[in-house]
Amino acid sequence: GENVEQHPSTLSVQEGDSAVIKCTYSDSASNYFPWYKQELGKRPQLIIDIRSNVGEKKDQRIAVTLNKTAKHFSLHITETQPEDSAVYFCAATPISGGYNKLIFGAGTRLAVHP
Amino acid sequence: ETGVTQSPTHLIKTRGQQVTLRCSSQSGHNTVSWYQQALGQGPQFIFQYYREEENGRGNFPPRFSGLQFPNYSSELNVNALELDDSALYLCASSLRTGIQETQYFGPGTRLLVL
């Protein structure tokens, strides 16, 4: 069935270090991979996304890479800051029935220590 | 912040009762998806509405139902509430364009079933 695995579940880094979160998806027909940041008690906010015809995308300190052959995609945050502390979710959108649904990973709790 | 709003913000019900949650989509969006997020987990897809019809459903029983109105706002109804229905319910709106569209989340309704 459709599944997205996300690792690690928790990640603790020092301010200024890089953070990497990895996801694996099961449905090879998936072609859209967004990343959401969710702060405590708040809505998931889209921070970056990538489509299957692109291998890498960057937006300032955030980058996402996609390996369709291996069905892996990763989020890279450089020069981390305390305000990056949140739960990050990866998601994949399988094509089924002609509609778009997001299959989420279980989340990574990132803590950035000053 | 997205233009997606939800009401109410919090709700307490007892087992067996019924609940209706509401979502107003972002201006210009024609598709609404509903997700259930249990504590410490990623959002789980419930269903999606497009042109006032349900066009996709996740692994949720029929007591979860919904509506979409001509102005694209939406309701989620849950009958015969169970303790396990306690969760954050998120709606997400998007614009169907024929390719994978970005979903923008509302702030959620936190439901507690006692």
Contact of B46 with chain A, judged by CB distance below 8 Å, is answered with no
Mean pLDDT of B27-39: 93
Task: State the pLDDT at residue A38.
Answer: 97
Task: State the pLDDT at residue B1.
Answer: 66
Task: State the pLDDT at residue A29.
Answer: 83
What would the pLDDT profile of B64-94 be if each residue is shown by its tens digit? 999 999 989 999 999 999 999 999 999 999 9
Say whether pLDDT at A27 is over 80: yes
Task: State the pLDDT at residue A82.
Answer: 96
Residues of chain B with Cβ-Cβ distance to A96 below 8 Å are 56
Comparing CA positions, the residue from B92, B66, B89 lying closest to residue B77 is B66
Comparing CA positions, the residue from A12, A27, A1 lying closest to residue A93 is A27
Selecting from B35, B55, B107 the residue whose C-beta is nearest the C-beta of A42 gives B107
Q: Which of B29, B31, B100, B101 to mutate to test the interface with A (most CBs of A within 10 A)?
A: B100
**The two three-digit tokens of residue B43, written as one number:** 């959002």
Contact A31 B44 (CB under 8 A): no
With tokens 């708040």, the residue in question is: A42
Mean pLDDT of B11-29: 95
Q: Which of residues 7-36 of B touch A (CB under 8 A)?
A: 31, 33, 35
C-alpha A24 chain-centroid distance: 10
| Shortest Cα distance, chain B CAs vs residue A98, angstroms | 8
For chain A, the residues whose C-beta falls within 8 A of a C-beta of chain B are 4, 6, 31-32, 34, 36, 42-46, 49, 51, 89, 91, 93, 96-107
Q: Which of A96, A102, A109 to mutate to test the interface with B (most CBs of B within 10 A)?
A: A102
Say whether pLDDT at A1 is over 70: no
- Report the C-alpha gap between B106 and A59 in whole angstroms: 23
Say whether pLDDT at B5 is over 90: yes
Mean pLDDT of B8-16: 97
Residue environment code for A5-41, b if the CB has 16+ CB neighbours within 10 A, otherwise e: ebeeeebebeeeeebbbbbbbebeebbbbbbbbbeee
| Percent of chain B's residues with pLDDT above 70 | 96
What would the pLDDT profile of A60-84 be if each residue is shown by its tens digit? 999 999 999 999 999 999 999 999 9
CB A12 within 8 A of CB A113: yes
Contact B102 A100 (CB under 8 A): no
Residues of chain B with Cβ-Cβ distance to A36 below 8 Å are 105
Close Cβ partners of B22 (under 8 Å, ≥ 6 residues apart): B6, B7, B73, B74, B75
Dihedral angle sign, alpha carbons of residues B56, B62, B42, A2: negative
Task: State the pLDDT at residue A30.
Answer: 87
Q: Which of A6, A73, A101, A104 to mutate to test the interface with B (most CBs of B within 10 A)?
A: A101
- Report the C-alpha gap between B27 and B22 in whole angstroms: 16
